[in-house]
């Protein structure tokens, strides 16, 4: 491991985190609530004190990272960032227990939105905004942000960005990584502002609109309202949030091509067709399944579309407690929790592209059983897909499931929750959705789990956000040897 470069990189990331806390500090200064501004201020100070020496004093001799080191750096960066990001919660006493605060912070950065918070009444506007703003930072990726700001930091950036960006293949939208990162953040910022404006029009106040805009953009799901979006009881707000959740679950390269007036891109994208097709089909099916609970089909459709969008984009907002729905509806939600959004979006989950590849691969294997000599290259997005890509997708799925099962088993050692709760809690963490079923449902929280389980959940969320391998590589002893 190129230790000096790693330290310098981590330092840069911490400084970027310090800078990203500034908006929350300004909000805190605006509202003048006890304990709010000091909590943000001391957190920024702590980040600066930790980050600046690391960034300034480490002088790397070489600026290249090997693939494995790149993965390790990304994982370390996320862990460090989460620990420092938990400080505002601890300092403000909003979440006094460090492990609770860490869980909340990891849940924020990984855009999961699972919460241990139960006290929604304390007036801490700055810290609460930070809680949602972690979604915005984590959604597009802090390394991507760091590269947008400091493109010269390392020589080979492909490994770093690959480890952080969602999807099996790295697709740059501009030839240079730094330009690419800047462009992604520009699109991201513009869409967030657009949602902010729409939410204002739909009747939210300015603070709530900003908070929910950043929360949706990262497909996170933290809300300032204890009852989430359902608490506003406004159809307009729900429609705006539904549309934007689906938008942020789309590949950002598509927005770039649209911006370049290449409208064909939308029509050509096979993944988008799968994504919207599944969303539409699942919404209709879910509406039928929950019809007994609601009075009209229209009302059922309102709740089904919102919840399909929130689960598929892995946001995790709620406008209804799907825990109270009929069993088949809950089963459908459970299945949707695996899927996730598109490659290159801020959504979590397995990603639609992988699901589509798995389906196509499975279909081919079945066809082969009957026609052993059949030769068929699987195509996706108009290109032939390499067999190595298929097998790595299959491996990804395998590891994904095994990780959920192991996670569910470890937290079940506590012994006081049922299988449904433990299994969906692990699933919702790895998929970065937020709410699960049972005790961790939309109306519940993770607060009842022990500190140890919360650390396990935190690791699961990180593994899910970074698509498994960067976190797994940390457990490889070879990484730490010279």
Partner 1 sequence: MRIVVVGAGKVGRTIAEHLTQEEHEVVVIDKDEVALHRCEDTLDVMCVEGSGANAKTLVEAQVDTADILIAATASDEVNMLCSLMGKRLGAKYTIARIRDPEYNESLSLLQTELGIDLSINPERASAQEISRLLRFPFASDIESFAKGQVEMVLFRVAPQEKIAGIPLWQLAQSLPDMPRVLFAAAEREGEIFIPGGDFVFQPGDHVYVTGDVMSVTRFFRFLGKNTAKSRRVMIVGGGRISYYLARLIVPMGIYVTLIEHNREKAAKLSEELPQVNVLCGDGTSQELLEQEGLTDMNAFVCLTDRDEENLMTGLYAAKQGVGKVIVKNNRLNYLDIIADLGLDTVISPRQITSAGILRYVRALAGSAGTKVEKLFRLMNGRAEALEFIVREGAPYLGKPLKELTLRKNTLVAMITRKNKVIVPGGNDHLEAGDSVVIMAGERGISDLSEVIIK
Q: What residue ranges bind partner 1 (CB under 8 A)?
A: 67, 156-159, 170, 172, 174-179, 383, 386
* Closest of 187, 135, 163 to residue 432, by C-alpha: 135
Q: Half-sphere exposure (CA, 13 Å, Cβ side) for 428?
A: 32
Cβ–Cβ < 8 Å for 299, 320: no
**Least spacing, CB of residue 379 vs partner 1, in Å:** 13
Q: Is 373 helix (H, G, I), strand (E, B) or coil?
A: coil
Q: Tell me 341's DSSP state.
A: -
**Least spacing, CB of residue 431 vs partner 1, in Å:** 28
| For partner 1, the closer CB: 38 or 178 | 178
* Closest of 155, 100, 34, 4 to residue 446, by C-alpha: 100
- By DSSP bridging, strand 383-384 and strand 379-380 are antiparallel
Measured CA to CA, the distance from residue 158 to residue 170 in angstroms comes to 8
Which helix (H) or strand (E) element contains residue 230? none
| For partner 1, the closer CB: 4 or 172 | 172
| For partner 1, the closer CB: 128 or 159 | 159
Measured CA to CA, the distance from residue 414 to residue 453 in angstroms comes to 8
| For partner 1, the closer CB: 386 or 414 | 386
| For partner 1, the closer CB: 93 or 386 | 386
**Least spacing, CB of residue 157 vs partner 1, in Å:** 6
Q: Is 151 exposed, middle or buried (0-12, 13-18, 19+ CB in 10 A)?
A: middle
| For partner 1, the closer CB: 162 or 302 | 162
**Least spacing, CB of residue 317 vs partner 1, in Å:** 36
Q: Is 383 helix (H, G, I), strand (E, B) or coil?
A: strand
| For partner 1, the closer CB: 163 or 287 | 163
Count of CB atoms situated within 10 Å of the CB of 110: 30
**Least spacing, CB of residue 260 vs partner 1, in Å:** 9
Helices (H) and strands (E) in the chain, counts: 23, 2
Tell me the two tokens of residue 355.
């699901």
Quote the strand ranges of 168-308, DSSP E: none
Tell me the two tokens of residue 62.
């070489």
C-alpha distances out from residue 175 to 2, 181, 182, Å: 26, 11, 12
**Least spacing, CB of residue 423 vs partner 1, in Å:** 37
| For partner 1, the closer CB: 175 or 477 | 175
| For partner 1, the closer CB: 71 or 334 | 71
**Least spacing, CB of residue 338 vs partner 1, in Å:** 29
**Least spacing, CB of residue 57 vs partner 1, in Å:** 25
| For partner 1, the closer CB: 179 or 420 | 179
**Least spacing, CB of residue 176 vs partner 1, in Å:** 6
Q: Half-sphere exposure (CA, 13 Å, Cβ side) for 112?
A: 36
Cβ–Cβ < 8 Å for 427, 334: yes
Write the CB contacts of 53 (distance below 8 Å, at least 6 apart in sequence): 11
Which helix (H) or strand (E) element contains residue 417? none
Q: 């902010």: which residue's tokens?
A: 196
Cβ–Cβ < 8 Å for 250, 341: yes
**Least spacing, CB of residue 353 vs partner 1, in Å:** 17
* Closest of 333, 170, 157, 314 to residue 250, by C-alpha: 314
Q: Is 121 exposed, middle or buried (0-12, 13-18, 19+ CB in 10 A)?
A: exposed
| For partner 1, the closer CB: 176 or 374 | 176
**Least spacing, CB of residue 156 vs partner 1, in Å:** 6
């Amino acid at each position: 491991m190129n230790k000096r470069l790693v330290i310098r990189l981590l330092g840069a990331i911490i400084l970027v985190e310090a800078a990203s806390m500034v908006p929350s500090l300004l909000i805190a200064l605006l509202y003048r609530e006890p304990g709010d501004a000091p909590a943000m201020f001391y957190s920024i100070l702590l980040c600066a004190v930790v980050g600046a020496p690391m960034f300034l004093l480490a002088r790397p001799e070489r600026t290249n990272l090997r693939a494995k080191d790149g993965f390790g750096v990304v994982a370390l960066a996320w862990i460090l960032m989460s620990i420092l990001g938990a400080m505002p919660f601890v300092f403000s006493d909003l979440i006094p227990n460090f492990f609770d605060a860490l869980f909340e912070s990891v849940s924020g950065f990984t855009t999961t939105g699972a919460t241990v918070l139960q006290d929604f009444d304390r007036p801490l506007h700055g810290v609460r905004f930070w809680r949602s703003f972690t979604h915005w930072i984590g959604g597009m990726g802090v390394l991507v942000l760091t590269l947008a700001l400091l493109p010269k930091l390392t020589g080979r950036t492909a490994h770093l960005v690959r480890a952080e960006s969602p999807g099996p293949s790295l697709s740059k939208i501009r030839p240079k990584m730094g330009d690419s990162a800047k462009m992604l953040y520009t699109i991201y910022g513009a869409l967030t502002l657009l949602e902010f404006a729409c939410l204002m029009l739909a009747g939210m106040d300015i603070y709530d609109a900003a908070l929910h805009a950043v929360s949706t953009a990262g497909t996170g799901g933290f809300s300032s309202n204890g009852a989430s979006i359902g608490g506003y009881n406004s159809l307009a707000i729900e429609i705006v949030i539904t549309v934007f959740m689906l938008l942020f679950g789309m590949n950002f390269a598509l927005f770039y091509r649209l911006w370049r007036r290449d409208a064909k891109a939308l029509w050509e994208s096979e993944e988008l067709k799968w994504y919207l097709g599944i969303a539409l089909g699942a919404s209709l099916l879910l509406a039928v399944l929950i019809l007994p609970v609601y009075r009209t089909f229209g009302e059922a459709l309102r709740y089904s579309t919102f919840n399909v969008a929130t689960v598929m984009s892995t946001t995790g907002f709620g406008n209804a407690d799907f825990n109270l729905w009929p069993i088949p509806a809950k089963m459908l939600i459970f299945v949707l929790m695996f899927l996730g959004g598109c490659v290159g979006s801020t959504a979590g989950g397995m990603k639609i592209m992988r699901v589509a590849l798995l389906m196509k691969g499975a279909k081919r294997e079945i066809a082969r059983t009957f026609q052993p000599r059949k030769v068929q290259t699987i195509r996706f997005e108009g290109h032939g897909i390499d067999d190595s890509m298929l097998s790595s997708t299959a491996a990804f799925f395998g590891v994904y499931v095994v990780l959920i099962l192991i996670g569910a088993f470890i937290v079940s050692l506590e012994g006081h929750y049922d299988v449904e709760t433990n299994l969906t809690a692990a699933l919702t963490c790895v998929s970065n959705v937020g709410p699960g079923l049972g005790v961790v449902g939309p109306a519940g929280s993770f607060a009842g789990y022990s500190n140890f389980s919360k650390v396990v959940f935190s690791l699961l969320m990180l593994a899910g956000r970074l698509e498994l391998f960067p976190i797994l590589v940390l457990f490889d002893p070879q990484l730490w040897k010279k």
